[in-house]
């Protein structure tokens, strides 16, 4: 913040704002309005970026617009002189703008006492590290244990409606051990001694796509890190792809066709594997033959409510590209749901 923008008053910590606009209305802030905490800058979370702001005395947020400083409507000669000096002082200098900000967070800090460390902190060597649910439920007790197994699907990183379906990013596997069948490596996702997550545990699938990162936890933590998130997300088609994987029916050929037409490269792959040759997720690599019968299966869809163009589903509309699945009657299922909810389309 530039001193010229806040003219000190007799009240400590307050000042008169010059060149600021209200964050909500976009209207200029009066030169006689008071700013709270003149020397403190706050950062407003705008979703994918942050914006530097200060607080007004009424709790409103103000952002800086140096080009908006003007003395033409200022009647008070004393204030008019100060406004003109501020204009001259900052002429040609950039606004305090907003953008992406790296944030480093220290978690599981022992200086606050062991009893106050969150329950999701686990001790590795001489320090504690935070863990998520995938590690908590995915940690077994030896090679013959049967903790939760995970697979992950996502979108191809192409922003248009020409892409259909989802794509397998990490095969169904145990996360706490490494298994290999033929050339396919199902890698351990964290070091049991240090707790550090592996960057590329599933080396075979990463090599097939030409990327250097892989893994179920890694993908969930880092998708979009290549610079952006996908738009035009076909959530129902993503869900259907994952459901088809559990049914061991193979990747829908039409989905694969649209994705390959867009190009498979590290950018469109979002830096992670795109896996088209599936194995049976419910029987491969189990610690015991009975595990498949005893284990329940859960699908979790992460997304927002703004989905797009979800027409390529089996037995839904005549233009759907999925023609090889008569077990899922999408149109009939949708009609039953609408009838139950007394809705019509």
How high is the pLDDT of residue 100? 55
How high is the pLDDT of residue 143? 83
Parse the chain into domains and list their residue ranges. 3-90, 107-138, 148-303
Predicted structure pTM score: 0.72
How high is the pLDDT of residue 73? 57
How high is the pLDDT of residue 279? 94
pLDDT tens-place values along the chain, 345 residues long:
333 355 555 555 556 666 778 888 888 787 678 888 766 777 777 766 667 788 888 888 888 776 666 666 566 677 677 667 767 766 666 665 555 556 677 788 887 766 777 888 999 998 899 999 999 999 998 888 999 999 999 999 998 889 999 999 999 999 999 999 999 999 999 999 999 999 999 999 999 999 999 999 999 999 998 878 888 999 999 999 999 999 999 999 999 999 999 999 999 999 999 999 999 999 999 888 788 777 889 999 998 778 888 899 999 999 999 999 999 999 999 999 999 999 877
> Which residue has 């379906």 as its token pair?
165
How high is the pLDDT of residue 90? 65
């Amino acid at each position: 913040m530039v001193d010229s923008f806040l003219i000190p008053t007799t009240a400590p910590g307050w000042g008169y704002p010059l060149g600021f606009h209200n964050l909500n209305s976009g209207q200029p802030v009066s030169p006689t309005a008071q700013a709270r905490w003149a020397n403190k800058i706050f950062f407003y979370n705008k979703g994918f970026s942050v914006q530097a702001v200060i607080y007004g005395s009424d709790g409103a947020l103000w952002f800086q617009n140096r080009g908006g400083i003007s003395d033409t409507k200022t009647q008070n000669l004393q204030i008019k002189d100060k406004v003109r000096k501020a204009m001259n002082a900052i002429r040609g200098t950039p606004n305090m703008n907003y953008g992406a900000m790296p944030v480093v967070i220290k978690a599981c800090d022992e200086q606050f006492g062991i009893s106050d460390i969150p329950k999701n902190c686990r001790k590795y060597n001489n320090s504690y590290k935070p863990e998520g649910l995938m590690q908590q439920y995915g940690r077994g007790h030896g090679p013959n244990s049967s903790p939760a197994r995970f697979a992950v699907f996502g979108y191809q990183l192409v922003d248009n409606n020409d892409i259909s379906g989802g794509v397998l990013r990490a095969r169904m596997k145990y996360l706490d051990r490494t298994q290999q069948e033929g050339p396919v490596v199902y890698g351990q996702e964290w070091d049991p001694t240090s707790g550090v997550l592996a960057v590329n545990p599933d080396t075979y699938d990463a090599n097939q796509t030409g990327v250097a990162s892989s893994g179920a936890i890694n993908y969930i933590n880092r998708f979009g890190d290549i610079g952006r998130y996908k738009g035009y997300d076909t959530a129902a088609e993503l869900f259907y792809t994952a459901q088809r994987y559990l049914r061991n029916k193979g990747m829908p050929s039409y989905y694969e066709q649209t994705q390959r037409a867009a190009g498979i490269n590290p950018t469109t792959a979002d830096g992670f594997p795109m896996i088209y040759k599936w194995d049976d997720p419910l029987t491969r690599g189990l610690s015991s033959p009975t595990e498949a019968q005893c284990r329940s299966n859960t699908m979790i869809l992460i997304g927002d409510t703004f989905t797009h163009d979800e027409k390529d589903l089996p037995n839904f509309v005549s233009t759907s590209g999925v023609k090889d699945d008569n077990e899922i009657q999408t149109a009939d299922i949708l009609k039953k749901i609408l009838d139950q909810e007394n809705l019509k389309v």
